[in-house]
Each structure stands twice: as C-alpha cells, then as structure tokens.
Amino acid sequence: MPTKKRGLEEEHEDPPIVEAPGFVWESRIGEQVQIPGRGLTYAIHEKMADGSWETCEDSSILNPDGSGSMLAPLHQPLWPLPGRPEEYGSDVDLFNEIREYFQYHEELRDRRYYDFAGSWIFTSYRIEEFQTVPYLFFLGPRGTAKSRMLELLALLAYRGWLITHPTVASMFWVIDRYCPTLLADNYEFWPKETRNELDGLFNAGYRRGAIVPRRPREGESGPELTIYKVFGLKALAGTREPPDSLGSRCIFIRTSRNKRKRSLGIDKTWAQSLRNKLLTYRFRHFENRNSAADLSQIMNPLARVGELFYAPVQVTPSPDINKTITELALGVYSDQVEETATTVEAEVVRAILLLKQQAAKERQVSIEDSAVSDNRLSIQDISQEVNMGRDEKEKLTPRRIGWITSRLGFKKARMPDAKGTRAIQLDVQLLKDLANNYDVHERLEPADTPQETSERQNVRNDELYPFNPGRQVTSDVSSHAEISSSTLSEPRVSRSISDVSDNLTITTGERRVDQEVPSVDQNNGGLRPPFVETGRCRICNNLQPLRPGHDRESLICQPCFDNPPGPPEASSP
C-alpha cells in the first residue's frame, strides 16, 4: 500500500475506489445487490480450489488490473437491484414464473410474446455469450400500456435502466461503462437533435464490439476523441414506427387496450424475488458458460431476423418454448418478405418483368432470346407501368425510377432512337435474383411452365436453430454454494387470473401448467427428451437410456415402454 513519509511518521493512504455495478473475471463473477440491514454490497460467485463454486458477500474487492484500486458498489444505482440469490428449481420453473409475471400484469395481443419476453430476460443475464442481440419495440396507440411493459421489463432485466428524455452524453457514458439493458420510453418525443446523435448508438449497438467515436461539442471540455462501446440489449416504446435503420434491428410487439381487469400497480415484491432468482440463474450459467459462438460457422436462413432471434432461441429452457420462439421468428421473417414485396423497388422489378414478358410475347420468342436481341428497356416505359393506377400526387418521376434501377444494379443505357431515350440494360440473371429477393411472383418462363417457389418462401418451413438441452442448468443454490446470510422470504398474496391463457391457470404459490413440459435432466449428457438419464430399467434391468414410464414415476427403457408387460395371470385354485 502506498505511503507518505512525514519525518519519522508514516501516513497510510487509502487505495483509490472505483465504483462498479459488477464484474466478470475468469473464475469469479460479482453483481451489486441491496440487502436489508446491510445496504449495498456485492454478491460474489467464485470457483474454489477443489472445483466447487461458492457464493459470498463483500462490500469491496481488489481490482485485478494491477492499479491497486478497490471496486465498490455504485452509491446511486441507476436500476432496481437484486438481493441475495434465491433458489428457483429448474430453468423451466423460473421461465414459467416470469411468464406468469407478465401475464398477470399486462395483456398482449399475441400470447407468444409472453414467451419471447421471458427469453429476452434470460438473454440479458447471459449477454456475454452472444455476438448479436435483438431490440424490442412496443408499438401501439396511446393508452395501450407501452410504458407499463417497459416498467415490467426494467424490474426483471439485467441492469434494466429505464429512461425518458435523457442527455446524449449520459447515455453514451453509462452504456460504455456499465452495459445496462436500456429501456427508452417515449422515444419519438425525444428532441430530434438527440435522436440524430443517438443513431450510431442504436444502429451499431445490437452487435458485440460495436463502437461509436465522439468528440465533445463546441465549448465543452474533454478529450478530442472518445471511443464508446455501445453493445447491449435495448427496448423502446412509441406510437410511430422508428426509422428503417432502427426498425430492422427491432422485434415489434403490438400493444392494444386491455380487455380484462388488471392490477393498478406492479407487484414489486414479486419482481424482487424474480430478480434474486435471475441473479442465481446468471451465476449458475456462468459456471457452465460458453464463449460467444462463432457465427461464421452457423448457417442462418433468415437474414437479419436470424441474427436477432439467435440468442432468444438459444436460451429457451425446453423444446416447447424453443418451438414457440422459432415459429415467431419464421412469422416475423414471413411478414418482412411480404412487406418487401410492397416496396417501390419491388414495384419497379415487377414492372420490368411485365414489360419484358410483353416484349417477348409480341416477338414470339423466349425471354432469354429476347434479352439477347433487344436488351434495353426505356425508363419512360417503366415509369408508365409503375405509375399505372396511381394518383397524380403519388406518381414517380422518370428521374426517380432511374435512381431506383441503378440502386437495383441495372446499368444505364440509351435506346436506339433519334432522341437517345434513357434506358437500362437488361440482365436476365439479375432480374431472376431480384424477383426472388423481392418475392415477385410474375413468371420469367411461359405461362404453361410450373412456377417454383423461391428460396425465401421455402426457408419458412426450415428449422431455425436446433434446440440444445445440454446448455440448460438446473439451479439449486444450496447444492452449489454457501451464502453467508439466510435468505429472507416474504409471503405473497394469492392472486388468480382468468382468461389469460388457454393452457395456464395461475395462482401464486400453486401454479398449474396444463400443457405438459417434457422432463429433461439439464446435465444428462446430451440425451434428448423424453430420456432423462442412463441406468438400469426397472422392468428388464438392462443398462439403457431411461424415460418416465406410463405411471409417470418409474424410469424404464424405450422397448419396455413400447411393449409393457401385461398383468400376471391368476393362478387356478
């Protein structure tokens, strides 16, 4: 420890204090918690010399960067803090409780988004494992609980930072240093200058390693150039769709007015308990963590939609939930394909196809032969076809059509007439590719030739990413860790919900899930459901993979399950 000499006396200096909400090192992870009677401290989960893991608490810890500084909790936390880690059983149990939490407090038009919200929360606590993450955007008219959904997320998400009308400098500073889950309310009402400055943060922040260089404004002090890390989960809410650049990084959740009664406020005691369990979830998955996957080795059939859904699909705790999230991803991709087919670019491609087909029919040659003999098409003809049926104010000028064709990849040309009319050079292969990309259904072949579906249509039936149950962890704090103080549990008021889900009846403390979730041992060596372990069958005593029997209690092999022994014959008197 550094000292100052004053004559014969030595005065000890306290080491510098660096405030941090948590830390992640090779064999140790810590997070700031708030414990009644103790205040702000760290819950630290670390690996012991014998390979076991223990959880303890400490108000400060030596910074391993060699500076001699001490890490200490934030004096003014920006988000709701967890308490002591709590047991939660299995990942499926925790996921189901999170889904109940959202169902109890708010009604969503598409109930699959309850599952997606749960996966998004799980992703926030394992963000170190992923290269890309999705944004959420709650879109709906006023009075449709958009802000309430952000409040619900803020109470559960990892470092959920809910903000309205922030300063640009504060957002960059906090995100760079603390990597919170950003929850931006009333985004469309932020000053236009603020939104313009934050374009880089939102456009780049969904991908790990993204940075935004910034210089201080005129008259402000500071270094000439500062590099900010901007990666992290983000959720926004508004009544209007965001710009296309931001919207392409978002999963939209449409909100509507509630049709059932709901609580006036949010059950914060329940949310506190869930945060405590989610901290345990983070610690347990840190023990079995995987480094961020090499996305170059993963085949993605859904373009950016596949990037955005990769993390939520990977954290799903059961095959049924995995299937729900995958179906949601395919639906989002299908909607984007349909939207793409209605763009101006798609209309131009459709007009070029139609004009080329008409020219080929008039000459009674195939389209390919026509492209060789006459490979030019005037911009004026394309404009007339695109503007057919449009109002005068909505018509596109030939100049704009020319810009669009250049953007699509067509080369400029001149028609062989006296005026040298502006035209494009037709490329049949490019035209086929564009027809596929924009899901334009006009045929390039004669009408009697069967039309094949495009690759964009076929991919909707493919599996997105395979479910990997081996990555899930069954959590039991008592079996893995020793906690320095006992966990305080508070009784919750029994609550019931009617007409929330077709297959779920919720009563706090006595939940019943009518839809059966396959039993999966999360550390079963890669066995796929319904098999839970390898051992000796209770019926034939052979060593084989075992599954629950028809009585749901005994474990038997598949042959004995398929051909159960009949009851013993009664002996004759």
SS3 at position 422 = strand
Most confident of 1-10, 206-215, 439-448, 561-570: 206-215
% of the chain with per-residue pLDDT over 90? 42
Instruction: Choose the weakest-confidence range: 340-349, 379-388, 432-441, 480-489.
Output: 480-489
Residues 160-188, mean pLDDT to the nearest whole number: 93
Q: Which residue has the higher pLDDT, 476 or 18?
A: 18
SS3 at position 475 = strand
Tell me which residue of 537, 570, 535, 529 sits closest to 556, measured CA to CA: 537
Each residue's pLDDT tens digit, 456-465: 445 544 556 6
Cα separation, 527 vs 495, whole angstroms: 37
| pLDDT over 80 (residue 161) | yes
Residues 387-411, mean pLDDT to the nearest whole number: 90
| pLDDT over 80 (residue 494) | no
Cα separation, 435 vs 444, whole angstroms: 9
Cα separation, 204 vs 220, whole angstroms: 25
Cα separation, 343 vs 355, whole angstroms: 19
Q: Are 86 and 273 in contact, with CB atoms under 8 Å apart?
A: yes
Tell me which residue of 476, 244, 258, 211 sits closest to 339, measured CA to CA: 244
CA atoms within 13 A on the CB side of 364: 0
Backbone φ, ψ for residue 213 (5° rounding): -80, 140
Q: Which residue has the higher pLDDT, 233 or 519?
A: 233
Instruction: Choose the weakest-confidence range: 66-75, 301-310, 477-486, 542-551.
Output: 477-486
Each residue's pLDDT tens digit, 76-115: 999 999 999 999 999 999 999 999 999 999 989 899 999 9
pLDDT at 496: 38
Q: Are 114 and 513 in contact, with CB atoms under 8 Å apart?
A: no
pLDDT at 101: 96
Element holding 559 (H helix, E strand) = helix 558-562
Residues 226-251, mean pLDDT to the nearest whole number: 93
Amino acid at 173: W
SS3 at position 12 = strand
SS (H, E, C) 290-335: CCCCCHHHCCCCCHHHHHHHHHHHHCCCCHHHHHHHHHHHHHHHHH
Q: Are 476 and 87 in contact, with CB atoms under 8 Å apart?
A: yes
What does the block give as tokens for 246? 């931001």
| DSSP secondary structure letter of residue 203 | H
Parallel, antiparallel, or unpaired for β 422-425 and 376-378?
Answer: antiparallel
Q: Which residue has the higher pLDDT, 335 or 326?
A: 326
Other CB atoms closer than 10 Å to residue 7's CB: what's the count? 5
Residues 105-128, mean pLDDT to the nearest whole number: 94
pLDDT at 166: 86
Beta bridge partner(s), residue 29: 24, 45
Query: How does residue 475 score in pLDDT terms, banded at 50, 70 and 90?
Result: very low
Q: Are 28 and 455 in contact, with CB atoms under 8 Å apart?
A: no
pLDDT at 515: 37
pTM of the model: 0.71
Q: Which residues contact 290 (CB under 8 A, 6 or more apart)?
A: 129, 471
pLDDT at 499: 33
| pLDDT over 70 (residue 294) | no
pLDDT at 273: 96
pLDDT at 548: 79
Q: Which residue has the higher pLDDT, 173 or 561?
A: 173
What does the block give as tokens for 164? 């309205």
Residues 184-198, mean pLDDT to the nearest whole number: 89
Q: Which residue has the higher pLDDT, 151 or 355?
A: 151
| pLDDT over 90 (residue 318) | yes
Instruction: Choose the weakest-confidence range: 37-46, 249-258, 501-510, 522-531.
Output: 501-510
Average pLDDT, the chain: 79
Q: At what angle do helices 91-105 and 146-156 cross, to 10 degrees?
A: 150
pLDDT at 342: 81
Query: How does residue 179 score in pLDDT terms, banded at 50, 70 and 90?
Result: very high
Instruction: Choose the weakest-confidence range: 151-160, 260-269, 371-380, 429-438.
Output: 371-380
% of the chain with per-residue pLDDT over 70? 75
Residues 16-28, mean pLDDT to the nearest whole number: 92
For residue 71, the Cα-to-chain-centroid distance in whole angstroms is 31
pLDDT at 569: 47
| pLDDT over 70 (residue 234) | yes
pLDDT at 479: 35
Cα separation, 567 vs 140, whole angstroms: 61
| pLDDT over 80 (residue 573) | no
Q: At what angle do helices 268-287 and 91-105 cross, to 10 degrees?
A: 150
Beta bridge partner(s), residue 203: none
pLDDT at 120: 97
Residues 252-267, mean pLDDT to the nearest whole number: 87
| pLDDT over 50 (residue 568) | no
Cα separation, 429 vs 424, whole angstroms: 15
Domains belonging to the chain, first-starting first, are 15-72 (no CATH), 91-293 (3.40.50.300), 344-438 (1.10.10), 496-562 (no CATH)
How is the chain split among helix, strand and coil, in percent rounded to 5? 35, 20, 45
